[in-house]
Amino acid sequence: MSNHRPIDMQASMQRVAAGGIPLRAVERLQEEAGPHSKLFTSDLGVNEFLLARDAGCHPIAQLMGSSIYHVGQIPDYKGKTGELEIISDAHRESRRRALARLFEEARLVGADVVIGAQLRERMITMGSRGKGGDDGGEVLEFTVVGTAMRAPFITHPPNTPIITDLSGQDLWALVQDGWEPCGLLFDFCKYHGWHVTSGSGGSGEVTSANKVVESARKLVIDRITRQAQQAQAEFVVGSEFSIDVREVPCGYGGCKLDDLDVNVSWFGTGIRRIPGWSVDTRAPVPPFILPMMPVGRHRDIELAEDDDASEIERAAEEAEENALEMDEYNEPDDDNG
């Protein structure tokens, strides 16, 4: 029988509609971060966990934020080149809502930082019209998962945890050199280029297509740069940058020229120097380094990694024969005994 008290479902739904998390999730997180909590969950690997602790971080709980978002219909854009702002805004807003819910969970458990934030995208329903199947009307889902950590050395305003896509190893390496994360940066651009193909059978660079891709990339870079400046970041690391280019019909019947749809997304973590940091020379070498050694070495015989089973067996037989010959040579002569 459940020990949880009943919750006000209407109030819980209102929280979700306003961009928050359900009341039941609030109760769960308060229990996980409470004084009687004995177990934490995370998406960290073994090395990530140990290195994050070595960097001065202590795991609290695994967190998640999600958003299912419906993209509204967009006006006809045949004959136009430029960003499809309704689609770009929908992708950015759905990501922002998922990250905002992750942030709320991190705040509730008293985290200083969230590491290993992984954003997953899924198209639930494709648009029913348009050239590329995603020209308005589709339903998108974005989910972000990460691990909340206590890290007192990270600079941030009270009750304002820092979200990052850094792994435990990344965070350890940055801290050893005096760097700290200051925020997750992300942007998305849906860009359409009209009549970018030459329509001829010749070969050569399609400069009009290059300009479309470069225009989309520049929009994203400029927006990421502004985000980094607002977060007071000195560098952006761990960047996941992707460009998806698709050739689509222009929409006019019988036209031999095609259009270009470009999706550009960029995720990364802003970093800056830890204020007042000084060099620590006690641990100049990471504690997790595996030694390198040749494979299959036997006395003077050294085998390459790609040797197959028959070669290994033949080398073993030769080594055994050599050993027998040495034994026979070293046996005492009975006639002289």
pLDDT of residue 76: 74
Whether residue 156 sits in one domain with residue 31: yes
Task: State the Cα–Cα distance between residues 101 and 26, nearest whole angstrom.
Answer: 11
149 assigned to some structural domain: yes
Helix (H, G, I), strand (E, B) or coil at 264: strand
Whether residue 27 sits in one domain with residue 90: yes
pLDDT of residue 74: 78
337 assigned to some structural domain: no
Nearest to 182 by CA among 113, 91, 240: 113
287 assigned to some structural domain: no
Whether residue 126 sits in one domain with residue 31: yes
Which secondary-structure segment (H or E) carries 17?
A: helix 9-17
What letter would DSSP give residue 19? T
| CATH code: domain of residue 258 | 3.30.110.70
pLDDT of residue 132: 46
Whether residue 101 sits in one domain with residue 209: yes
Whether residue 254 sits in one domain with residue 309: no
Going from the C-alpha of 21 to that of each of 24, 78, 122, 161, 240, the distances in angstroms are 8, 40, 20, 16, 27
135 assigned to some structural domain: yes
Look at the pTM and tell me if it is higher than 0.75: no
pLDDT of residue 276: 81
Whether residue 305 sits in one domain with residue 243: no
pLDDT of residue 313: 66
Whether residue 262 sits in one domain with residue 145: yes
333 assigned to some structural domain: no
Tell me the mean pLDDT per 10 residues along the chain, length 337: 61 68 64 59 76 84 88 77 90 91 89 89 68 64 90 88 91 90 93 78 78 95 94 90 87 78 93 80 52 48 52 66 63 55
Whether residue 186 sits in one domain with residue 320: no
25 assigned to some structural domain: yes
Whether residue 175 sits in one domain with residue 316: no
Q: Which domain holds residue 174?
A: 10-273
Nearest to 263 by CA among 333, 185, 334, 188: 188
How would you classify residue 306: left for phi > 0, otherwise alpha for psi between -120 and 50, otherwise beta? alpha
238 assigned to some structural domain: yes
HSE-CB of 158 using CA atoms within 13 angstroms: 0
Going from the C-alpha of 146 to that of each of 90, 112, 113, 265, 273, the distances in angstroms are 23, 13, 10, 20, 23
Nearest to 262 by CA among 74, 131, 118: 131
Count how many domains the chain has. Answer: 2
Whether residue 174 sits in one domain with residue 89: yes
Whether residue 315 sits in one domain with residue 167: no
Whether residue 313 sits in one domain with residue 224: no
pLDDT of residue 1: 40
CA dihedral 42, 46, 47, 49 (to 10 degrees): 30
334 assigned to some structural domain: no
